[in-house]
Structure 1
């Protein structure tokens, strides 16, 4: 990922994917959303701003998955930060 993506920018991009760890009752990892994100996830991103950075446009998904698989990069760092809080 070459640019930082905020939740609002990601939502404007159309289909977005949550790449963070699954959060029971809120979101499952790699769930795609079209036309915005559900209220539960939206509320969670307001409480924990790191979650918003883990919502990426669909076209950025392969790079996000690569970072998680290789355990390096911005997405992996954010993932680990969220994992420690849930």
Structure 2
């Protein structure tokens, strides 16, 4: 699934969770969103598309947290990419 398709699926899923690194003044890691993300996060996602892939449906959160803790997997790779793009 492409990043755009994943983002659309995430928006339709209901509650979303941002799993990327904290962006001061915009979003903290593991912030929950209902009905879409804030304008600040949306703007950040447009500038850095990797952040969109780090905004996931709530039901994917346990697996994402596991990947971040174990430092492997797709979410961890995206997280590291987001850190490099700062």
Both structures adopt the same fold (TM-score exceeding 0.5): yes
Q: Which residue pairs with 1:19 in the alignment?
A: 19
Q: Give the 5 Å matches for 1:6-45.
A: 6-45=6-45
Q: Give the 5 Å matches for 1:5-84.
A: 6-84=6-84
* Partner SS for 1:66: helix
Which shows bigger deviation, 63-72 or 3-12?
A: 3-12
C-alpha distance after superposition, 1:30-54 (max 9, x if no partner): 0000011000000111111100000
- Corresponding residue pairs, total: 84
Shift of 1:72: 0.1
| TM superposition outliers: structure 1 runs of 4+ over 4 Å | none
* Partner SS for 1:6: helix
Measured on the aligned residues, the alpha-carbon RMSD in Å equals: 1.3
* Partner SS for 1:80: helix
* Partner SS for 2:25: coil
Question: Where does the alignment leave 5 or more consecutive residues of structure 1 unmatched?
Answer: none
* Partner SS for 2:56: strand
C-alpha distance after superposition, 1:38-83 (max 9, x if no partner): 0000011111110000000000000000000000000000000001
TM-score by length of 2: 0.92
